[in-house]
Amino acid sequence: MGMPSVAITFTELAATVIKRGERGIVALILKDENVPETNPVVCMSNEDVPKTLSAANQKQIKLALMGYVNMPKKVIAYVLNDSAEDYTDALNYLKTEKFDYLVVPTADTDGKKTDIVSYVKTQRTANKLIKAVLPNVTGDHEGIINFATESVTAGETEYTTEQYCARIAGIIAGTPLSISCTYALLSELSDCKRLTKDEMDAAVDAGKLITWWDGEKVKLGRGVNSLTTLTQEKNTQFQKIKIVDAMDMIENDIRMTIEDSYIGKYANTYDNKCLLISAIGNYFDQLIMDSVIQSYSIGVNIEANRSYLKGRGKNVDAMSDEEIKTANTGSHVYLTCVLSILDAIEDVVLPIGI
């Protein structure tokens, strides 16, 4: 009867990709003289924000909840006593909590930005694919968004760079996977630190996410993260917030489904490998329909199979590719996959002849 559970799970995940991609989760680490009895605080709307928190901390949660096309799914606010010397308790708690974007509004003031950068990198290496929005930090990493506008103004209120990071995280968390946060309108702002075209281009090239004044209103700049050092494994696509969000979602979906519905539950036959490949392919087919990816290829990794068999004394030189592909590989399933993830329209070239 094959593998109904894993196939069904992938189908269900694919059907909800857009819905899930439109509603991310923001985690805040706050310092306050009044730590709520229920900690962390989970806020789905402004009505959930505890009145016992300082006005500044209430504002941070509300900024995150504003979102963009959509509100974030929720904001998780872990509150530390304002005398806390570091963020260890909060960071340890968040290791086991599901969220997408981390904001620490006092990280710059406390001189702890590098600790947060290190935490995010370590968590991503351990397959917890979180990101952080931090002020003026050279993270050089796809998991670190470097918000670098000096100040923004909303009427009579002026926000520093670190005070506005929660708003930026909420925008990104509320951006559907089918579009990017580039040029997101910040309707509550009346002005921001104004830059020239050359200054804005230089900021983006340096991995800085900025706001800019277009002559009438304030908008977010190009949706980039802090990655600037490119390699063969991490090309320019890894600099785009939208692309990384899509990659993280796809990796999480596939890994969690395989862990929950496949590993340990089926004999490692070639037929079952093919059924797994087919189930993942169905998932990718839905992503194509939802304009998240453009194309894909997936199959058994023959070279990895060859290496496995050779390491166990098999005469792989005498075996055909088909024999290697269908061979018994113990508990290992070696697959290979290539995706083409769709970006959003951001660069329009239109020469006009007269």
**Residue 265: strand pairing partners:** none
The tens digit of pLDDT for each residue in 85-115 reads: 999 999 999 999 999 999 999 999 889 999 9
Give the position of tokens 């489904």. 257
d(CA 25, CA 74): 5
Residue with tokens 């209103």: 217
More confident residue, 103 or 127: 103
Sign of the CA dihedral running 30, 36, 40, 46: negative
Angle at Cα 151 formed by Cα 163 and Cα 82, nearest 5°?
Answer: 20
With a CB cutoff of 8 Å and minimum separation 6, the contacts of 305 are 324, 325, 327, 329, 334
Q: Which domains does the chain have, with CATH numbers?
A: 23-175+182-222 (3.30.1370.220)
Which candidate, 349, 133, 130, places its Cα nearest to that of 223? 133
Query: Which whole-number Å values give the CA distances from 70 to 28, 67, 74, 154, 165, in the listed order?
Result: 19, 6, 11, 21, 17
- The yes-or-no verdict on residue 307 having pLDDT over 70 is yes
**pLDDT classification of 197: cutoffs 50, 70, 90:** very high
The region that residue 310 occupies, defined by phi over 0 for left and psi between -120 and 50 for alpha, beta otherwise, is alpha
Q: Is the pLDDT confidence value at 347 over 60? A: yes
Locate 86 and state its tokens: 């570091």
Can you say how many angstroms the Cα of residue 12 is from the centroid of all Cα atoms in its chain? 21
Q: Would the pLDDT of 334 be above 80?
A: yes
Whether residue 4 has pLDDT greater than 60: no
Q: How far is CA 272 from CA 109, 185, 279, in A?
A: 54, 48, 10
The pLDDT, as a whole number, for residue 2 is 46
3 pLDDT band (50/70/90 cuts)? Answer: very low
Nearest C-alpha neighbor of 173 from the set 44, 40, 46, 68: 68
Specify the pLDDT at position 39: 94
Residue 15: is its pLDDT beyond 50? yes
pLDDT confidence tier of residue 9, bands split at 50, 70 and 90: low
Question: Which of 78, 71, 66 shows the shortest CA–CA distance to 28?
Answer: 78
Cα 97 from chain centre: 15
pLDDT at 210 over 90: yes
Strands of the sheet containing 151-154, edge to edge, are 157-160, 151-154, 191-192
Amino acid (one-letter) located at 18:
I
Asked if residue 209 has pLDDT above 80, the reply is yes
Strands 41-43 and 74-81: antiparallel
pLDDT in tens, 147-182: 999 999 999 999 999 999 999 999 999 998 889 999
